[in-house]
Amino acid sequence: MACATTFTSSSFSLKLRNSNLNNDKSNCFQFQKSFVSLNNPCFLAEPQFSIVSNRHSISRSQSIFNGFKCFVQKSEPSVSVDSRNDAEERVVVLVVGGGGREHALCHALKLSPSCDAVFCAPGNAGISSSEDATCISDLDIFDSSAVIAFCRQWGVGLVVVGPEAPLVSGLANNLVKAGIPTFGPSSEAAALEGSKNFMKSLCDKYNIPTAKYKTFTDPSAAKEYILEQGAPIVIKADGLAAGKGVIVAMTLEEAYEAVDSMLVKNVFGSAGCCVIVEEFLEGEEASFFALVDGENAIPLESAQDHKRVGDGDTGPNTGGMGAYSPAPILTKELQSIVMESIILPTVEGMSAEGCKFVGVLFAGLMIEKKSGLPKLIEYNVRFGDPECQVLMVRLESDLAQVLLAACRGELTGVTLDWSPGSAMVVVMASKGYPGSYEKGTVIQNLEESELVAPSVKIFHAGTALDSDGNFIATGGRVLGVTATGKDLAEARDRAYQAVEEINWPGGFYRRDIGWRALPLKQFARER
């Protein structure tokens, strides 16, 4: 494996045009923020730095990029962006985050015709090695002043915030205040994800269909309500809990234990100081995404993920073990119902409350078995992971321009183009996930895996490079092996063919991603 060149963010110069774009500045209401629980994610990435850009735009210095092995030259490299006066506006983008979702966004932005260059902070080893973006591993994404200074220094004309924690902490607020177009909601609007109680209260006020619930801070009162309602029942931590704050209790004992873990033992810290006890909805879950500009919303293609760790949707919930797009359960009729009954009332409600939402609304839905109608389970205020991976490999529109239109409040009339066929991502995770797992296990044959079938792309979520240049696992969910095909069956075949080529004894994966959409007899024949 070739050794990547390592730089610090101050060891080279990059001359870019600043787009001088303006973002709408909403006068968002202020409310008590005691719900916020910010456990800064530990982004592990090698400090590798190389300039990555749209292939039509960058003129690279021969002394840096040609014949360069495993050393850094003493002279400062210089990279310039072509300043052609194209009719189409061009932009430099910074993607904030370092997981599989951010890798997919970098990949799509790199392919955007109007995107001059893509940075990712902090990024990860896979993003850097694949040259989908220039990773800035030493940029603290929770330090708004540092992010703003970087954007001004390198002429960044669009920031795309991937994870929820920086949004809840107010990164978008500060960037917009500094005049930097930012795709992602303010901290006030991010309460849709940062506080489940806030989201439920909004649903009550604006008649958005959701599960019946009550909120508690007292464990005894919560248990009394649970006894009245019976099991199965759902217990949720109010704040951000890294995707682990939802317990589907099948018995009263499990429900009581979940309440105690949050309100008594404080396993989720301040995120669990308030719990939502919610009715159990029976049906099929689906993911629905819409881009929002504060007043208008446009839907993305449908997708569906697999939350449970084991085949047949068994075992504990995870951040997602795989996904596919489109999702047959989300018919065109259902998508229209979701937009009219859930998405648009939410956008209008947030605007009416004095806090316009700009970014992507990710609605976790339950298509109820009895009625066949959708109910809102929860909102996320960013792209889903791993759904983002299958959406980005299917998107054919210029992502940079679409996101800029959202930042400017100009989504009216925007349409999105999608490739025909289907896409699937199979997540490879460290053994033991979502519980404790070993870090540092070696992963091999990644380059060979991407070549075994057409249209395979591996998105890195938790990888680094060791001293020998080998990829190692640094997280729970580590790789998103993604493929497209003329239909879901072909996409599935290609994805699993690539998965089986990867040599990683320390990892595991589900073998039935897509089982709800593909005939069961097909799985029986293939397994």
At 276-315, the pLDDT tens digits run: 999 999 998 888 999 999 999 999 999 999 999 999 999 9
| pTM given for the model | 0.80
Nearest to 149 by CA among 172, 170, 175: 175
Residue 257 lies in a domain: yes
Whether residue 63 is predicted with pLDDT greater than 50 in this model: the reply is no
pLDDT in tens, 417-468: 999 999 999 999 999 999 999 999 999 999 999 999 889 999 999 999 999 9
379 Cβ contact partners less than 8 Å away, ≥ 6 residues apart: 192, 193, 199, 346, 361, 362, 363, 364
Can you give the pLDDT at residue 525? 44
Is residue 82's pLDDT more than 90? no
CATH of residue 143's domain is: 3.40.50.20
In a domain, 417, yes or no: no
Q: Of 258, 280, 302, which residue constitutes the final position of a domain?
A: 280
Residue 248 belongs to what domain range?
A: 212-280
- Is residue 239 in a domain? yes
Name the pLDDT band for 16 (thresholds 50, 70, 90).
very low
CATH number of the domain to which 228 belongs: 3.30.1490.20
Tell which wins on pLDDT, 2 or 387. Answer: 387
Q: What DSSP assignment string belongs to 306-340?
A: --EEETTTEEEE-S-SEEEES-TTS-HHHHHHHII
> Are residue 228 and residue 266 in the same domain, yes or no?
yes
**Predicted pLDDT at 88:** 67
Q: Tell me: do 102 and 181 sit in the same domain.
A: yes
Look at residue 139 and tell me if it is in a domain.
yes
Separation in Å, CA 395 to CA 56, 300, 420, 421: 20, 9, 10, 12
Domain end among 280, 299, 321: 280
pLDDT at 81: 35
* pLDDT given for residue 286 in this prediction: 87
Please indicate, yes or no, whether residues 158 and 224 belong to a single structural domain of this protein.
no
Same domain, 147 and 103: yes
Number of folded domains that form the chain: 2
Q: Looking at the structure, do residues 251 and 172 belong to the same domain, yes or no? A: no
Q: Mean pLDDT over all residues of the chain?
A: 84
Q: Are residues 121 and 179 in the same domain?
A: yes
Please report whether residue 153 resides in a domain: yes
Shared domain check, 176 and 235: no
- Residue 523: predicted pLDDT: 53
Same domain, 108 and 157: yes
What percent of the chain has pLDDT above 90?
A: 73
Residues 169 and 123 reside in one and the same domain: yes
Mean pLDDT of 315-324: 92
Residue 416 lies in a domain: no
Boundary-marking domain end, from 225, 252, 280? 280
Q: What is the pLDDT of residues 191-231, one digit of tens each?
A: 999 899 999 999 999 999 999 999 999 999 999 999 999 99
- Looking at the fold, whether 150 and 223 belong to one and the same domain comes out as no
Distance CA 111, CA 102 (A): 14
Average pLDDT of the residues in 222-246: 89
115-157 pLDDT tens trace: 999 999 999 999 999 999 999 999 999 999 999 999 999 999 9
Both 175 and 122 in a single domain? yes
Domain-located, residue 367: no
Residues 166 and 102 in one domain: yes
Q: Considering the domain boundaries, does residue 466 fall inside one?
A: no
Nearest CA among 117, 129, 70, 66 for reference residue 93 = 117
Strands 358-368 and 283-293: antiparallel
* pLDDT reported for residue 147: 98
Give the angle 461-58-128 at the CA atoms, nearest 5°: 20
Distance of alpha carbon 435 from alpha carbon 265, whole angstroms:
18
Residue 360 pLDDT exceeds 90: yes
